[in-house]
A and B are shown apart, each in its own frame.
Chain A
Amino acid sequence: MQFCSLIKAAWTVFRKDLRCEFRTPLNFSILMIFAVTVLMVVSFAVGGIALDPTLLAALLWVMLFFTAMTGVARAYVQEEETGTALVLRLATDSAAIYIGKVLYSFVLLVGVAIVVVPLYLVLFSVAPAMPLALAATVVLGCLGIAVTGTTFSAIVAQVTAQGSLMTVLSFPVMLPLLWIAISTTSTAFAGSNLVALAPDLAFMFFYSGMTFVASLVLVEYL
């Protein structure tokens, strides 16, 4: 498939997924309910105790990771369950479908993060010293989770017990990303030199890029 046709088809798949989501906002609702519930439970449990920035960052990313797993896993699974996966595969290239699904998952996660992260900052009384660095970390973290999560969603879509399998399989692969995300978020909370964060942000970007390229090759065989 030519590059332009690939991108056009991917964009069309992305728009279709968004349109379906707006009609029956199932995935977004599940993600939001899960994220807000976890946030409230943790917030009440911690109850005003001043936490270390690293612990705060870890809590945020544990919450974002498990929230993502409940929603991103649906990217391919939903198509398999409703019987539309075969029709889609007949219509276009696997790579176009994958790119469209990554875009959709990314937008979904960023949408959740836009609501959840400010709420988290308010509930835990955190005033990040470097808000822009925090925003960049969250966006790059969401990108990495979307890319990797969508790949594993494509893998587990063919089997039963997808939800738990998805988390078990993807966690080791996402561990480096989460590790760096926690470290960068912690620094953004506490405040430091922005230049010192550049390598970590670059790592998160290249992690997504490398996973994306490897996944494009992989999805042809699924």
Chain B
Amino acid sequence: MAVRVVCHDLTKHFPPRTLFRGVSVTVEPHSLFAVTGRNGAGKTTLLKIIAGLVPSSCGSVHFSDGGRILSLGEIRQTIGMVAPDLALYDALSGLENLAFFAEVRGVAAAREQIAELLELVGLTKRRHDPVATYSSGMKQRLQYAHALLHTPSILILDEPTSNLDSAGAQVVYGIMQRQRQHGSVVYATNDAREVALADAILQLD
């Protein structure tokens, strides 16, 4: 799947404030797209609008594959997201969380996929521990495993390495480069190293 994301004239109001106005961007397949801007510029909100979690005040977002507009159900299968305000279930173990989301998403060959992803993010040894016992960095690693579970075409990352140590950050950069080969990454960051990885940059003022 080569999914293109087209945002047309997006505006978001939080009355009496307008967060951003008239944002029109296209995220091409096989690209890394960075969204930068000062705190409060609306980076997180823009990512949530693209993910369909927050409605825009004006404008539209379309996902297309070879000219065909994707349905809501297809979009859900297309997106994987990691963000600080998303959380997994503390009462369940890392493995149980991934098994639950794999089942609810209808992922085929989930067991192998989960084992591979846990290995990728370095949580194989702690897979049976409740998420409540994980550090914030480990929780973020698990979020990456969750986001990649259904092999999404669009990976949406808000502050991709905010809670991670340098080893964790390297894993994330690897994930982003790997993702570019079969899809694209939209990420919000103010980290110069991460901005430098981007193929296209949107600066929100």
Contacts and interface: CB of A to CB of B under 8 A. Distances in A.
A20 B90 CA distance: 9
Contact of A90 (B53, B103, B130): B53
Given A84-B86, A91-B105, 5 more contacts: A8-B106, A16-B89, A20-B89, A86-B86, A87-B101
Interface string A4-21: 010011001100100110
A13 to B, nearest CB: 7
Contacts of A9: 104, 106
B91 to A, nearest CB: 4
Contacts, number: 62
Nearest to A88: B104
Q: Which 7 A-B pairs have the closest CB atoms?
A: A83-B87, A23-B91, A20-B91, A12-B104, A12-B103, A92-B104, A16-B100
Contact of A91 (B76, B83, B90, B92): B76
Nearest to A22: B91
Contact of A1 (B73, B92, B103): B73
Interface residues of A, number: 23
B87 A19 contact: no
Q: Which of A24, A90, A91 has the most CB of B within 10 A?
A: A90
A91 B104 contact: yes
A23 B91 CA distance: 6
A49 B73 CA distance: 59
Interface residues of B, number: 24
A5 B91 contact: no
A82 B85 CA distance: 9
A88 B85 CA distance: 13
Interface of chain A: mostly helix, strand, loop or mixed: helix
Nearest to A93: B73
Interface of chain B: mostly helix, strand, loop or mixed: mixed
Contacts of B96: 19
A90 B92 contact: no
Interface string A140-170: 0000000000000000000000000000000
Nearest to B80: A90
B88 A87 contact: yes
Contact of A84 (B87, B103, B105): B87
B51 interface: yes
A165 to B, nearest CB: 22
B123 interface: no
B79 interface: yes
Interface string A72-100: 00000000001110111111110010000
29 contacts: A1-B73, A5-B106, A8-B106, A12-B104, A16-B100, A16-B104, A19-B91, A19-B96, A20-B89, A20-B91, A23-B91, A24-B91, A82-B87, A84-B87, A84-B89, A86-B86, A87-B86, A87-B87, A87-B88, A90-B51, A90-B79, A90-B81, A90-B86, A91-B76, A91-B101, A91-B105, A92-B105, A93-B73, A93-B76
Contacts of A96: 104
Given A8-B106, A92-B104, A83 B86 contact: yes
B146 interface: yes
A23 B76 CA distance: 29
